[in-house]
Amino acid sequence: MRRHLVLGALFFLPRHKKIALERRLRGKQEYAKLQEADWALVSWGKSGRTWFRVMLSRFYQLHFGLDTDYMLEFDNFHRLNPNAPKVLFSHNNYIRDYLGAWDNLDYYKGKKLVLLVRDPRDVAVSQYFQWRYRMLPRKKVLNAYPPHGADVDIFDFVCNPDCGIPKIVEAFNIWARSLPALGDGVLVVRYEDLRHDPAGVLAQVVSFAGITGSPAHLEAAKEYAAYENMKKREAGNEGMRGSGQRVKPGDGANPDSFKVRRGKVGGYRDYFTPEQVQIVDAMVEDALDPSFGYGAP
């Protein structure tokens, strides 16, 4: 509310200054939460965070005996049970604007950090559908996406240095360079491994955060967040509350407007010609740090 009051009082500022101010204010709020958080999960948008968040929320509900159907939102579970952790979920864009720290993750030192990564090619394609069918016009402006209503081809979108693969690769490379300084305080989780073994990766994350999860709770959380179950609940506007637009379709008649759209590993190839696939692959294979494992197939 303070952020909205400040922006409302400064309505007379040029748009580019208001955008910069809003990004810094959002970053300030995130940074304040980071100081209180027990651990943080950082990911690029469209990397499977909402799916993992639903699974993690269900696990915590079972593990801590929480009588709630709300999704985990920073400290809401902690307020129900002081043993439940405070968890910051961040895409790391606003907080780095606030701190002016664009080339490292040093501000996460002292906190347990989980980095959730996904193949930048699949991320960029998923972001295209998010931009086209789900993203609010104001968020497009705030995050420098193509303007609302623009006629942008999917190949041009993923090649765009301001929102496509080049920008994602740049961010991932910064993360890779930051890992040595974080030492044992960081855990890298790949979306592809999460798809292959959801319960196993969930167990790895909660153990890293300080909890030994029972196999029964881990398996129940996995089943609750299974792709078909998530898809069914989204179609019926059911599921965990407090999630805003995270798991609601933009248009119930359009499968591409669903938050849970496909989740296919390597699905980016379905949208391009063989020649375009070669170009897209080169953007990753030639530029991305190999430590993430997204090189040549």
Question: Domains in the chain: how many in total?
Answer: 1
Give a yes or no: residue 107 inside a domain. Answer: yes
- pTM as predicted: 0.86
Percent of the chain whose predicted confidence (pLDDT) is above 90: 69
Q: Is pLDDT at 179 greater than 90 in this prediction? A: yes
CATH number, domain of 200, equals 3.40.50.300
- Give the mean model confidence (pLDDT) for residues 108-132: 96
| DSSP per-residue letters across the chain | -HHHHHHHHTTTS-HHHHHHHHHHHHHHHHHHHHHH-SEEEEE-TTSSHHHHHHHHHHHHHHHTT----BPP-BTHHHHH-TTSPPEEEE-SSHHHHHHT--S--GGGTTSEEEEEE--HHHHHHHHHHHHHHT--HHHHHHTTPSPTT----HHHHHH-TTTSHHHHHHHHHHHHHHHHHHGGGEEEEEHHHHHH-HHHHHHHHHHHTT----HHHHHHHHHHT-HHHHHHHHHTT-S-BS-TTTTS-S-TT-GGG-SS----TTGGGGGS-HHHHHHHHHHHHTTS-GGG--S--
> Above 70 in pLDDT, residue 78?
yes
pLDDT digits (tens, 9 = 90+) for 202-237: 999 999 999 999 999 999 999 999 877 776 766 656
Range of the domain at 59: 14-292
pLDDT for residue 16 is more than 90: no
188 domain-assigned: yes
Give the model's pLDDT for residue 245: 45
Judge whether 9 lies within some domain.
no
Query: Among 6-20, 129-143, 170-184, which range has the highest average pLDDT?
Result: 170-184
Whether residue 297 is contained in a domain is answered as: no
User: Average model confidence (pLDDT) for the chain?
Assistant: 88
What's the pLDDT at 85? 98
Q: What is the pLDDT at residue 4?
A: 54
| pLDDT at 117 > cutoff 80 | yes
Residue 183 lies in a domain: yes
pLDDT for residue 99: 95
Per-residue pLDDT at 243 exceeds 60: no
**Per-residue pLDDT reduced to its tens digit, 31-71:** 999 999 999 999 999 999 999 999 999 999 999 999 998 99
Q: Is 105 domain-assigned? A: yes
Amino acid 54: pLDDT = 93
Residue 241 lies inside a defined structural domain of this protein:
yes
Is pLDDT of 262 > 70? no
Does residue 2 lie within any of the structural domains? no
pLDDT at 142: 83
- Is the confidence at residue 282, as pLDDT, over 70? yes
At 66 the pLDDT is 97
290 has pLDDT over 70? yes
Q: Supply the pLDDT for residue 249.
A: 53
